[in-house]
Amino acid sequence: MIELEQVQTVPLVVGEDGTIRIIGSRVTLDSLIEEFKRGATAEQIQEDQHPHFDPAYTTLNIGLIRGGSAKNVIAGECRFTLEWRPIPTQDSRHVLHLLNSAIEREKLSDPDFECEVDADRADGGFETSPASSFVTLLEELTGKTAGTVAFGTEAAQIGALGAEAVVLGPGDIRVAHRTGEFVPLDELQRCTEIIAEAITSLCL
């Protein structure tokens, strides 16, 4: 009798742009392979993801870059500002540890390489249960289902003080933090009414 080995199907999907991703997430196959090359285990990779967020992993952004004196002169140094927005299940200093490890590896391969990191702050992510009565109330008042956002707010600090934090406001994040950003007046007025109704329901 021939015994057949059971093969588990890998949950992958190919997008319209040809990018291979894990089904039900925005995590790419290439990023998983790079993590395995870095020595991460499957358990560690899973810890670095949160299925309810889009994207499902911590995001990084370099917003400021300074260096050099002229276009035809090799810059002697470069300074840049890096920020990251961790998912709630990840240590806020995890990216900093990865960055420092990468710097040490680069120093080993290039003795002339120098890099200093000045970490001003390390804000964590936050998560309020969708079953919270506060969340449920705001869903009723807004007529919208609560979700997640991949940008920074002060909600994590408010949550650390023991309060239930929810991000709620008018406008569209796609036009925020850029030239010409705006908030429609009708949305601002409606948001004011929602907050007033919430205060009346919870506090009065």
SS3 at position 20: strand
Query: How many domains is the chain partitioned into structurally?
Result: 3
Segments forming the whole domain that contains residue 18 = 7-47
Structural domain includes residue 119: yes
> Are 56 and 120 in the same domain?
yes
**Of 102, 124, 146, at which residue does a domain stop?**
124
**Of 124, 145, 163, at which residue does a domain stop?**
124
> Are 139 and 194 in the same domain?
yes
- Of 85, 81, 104, nearest to 94 by C-alpha is 85
**Of 86, 102, 124, at which residue does a domain stop?**
124
pLDDT in tens, the chain (204 residues): 556 555 556 677 787 777 777 676 666 777 777 777 777 666 666 667 777 777 778 888 888 999 999 989 988 889 999 888 888 888 888 888 888 988 998 999 898 899 999 988 778 888 888 899 999 999 999 999 998 887 778 888 888 888 889 999 999 988 888 889 999 999 999 999 999 999 999 998
> Are 118 and 148 in the same domain?
no
pTM higher than 0.75, yes or no? no
pLDDT at position 11? 72
Structural domain includes residue 2: no
> Are 143 and 119 in the same domain?
no
> Are 56 and 107 in the same domain?
yes
Structural domain includes residue 1: no
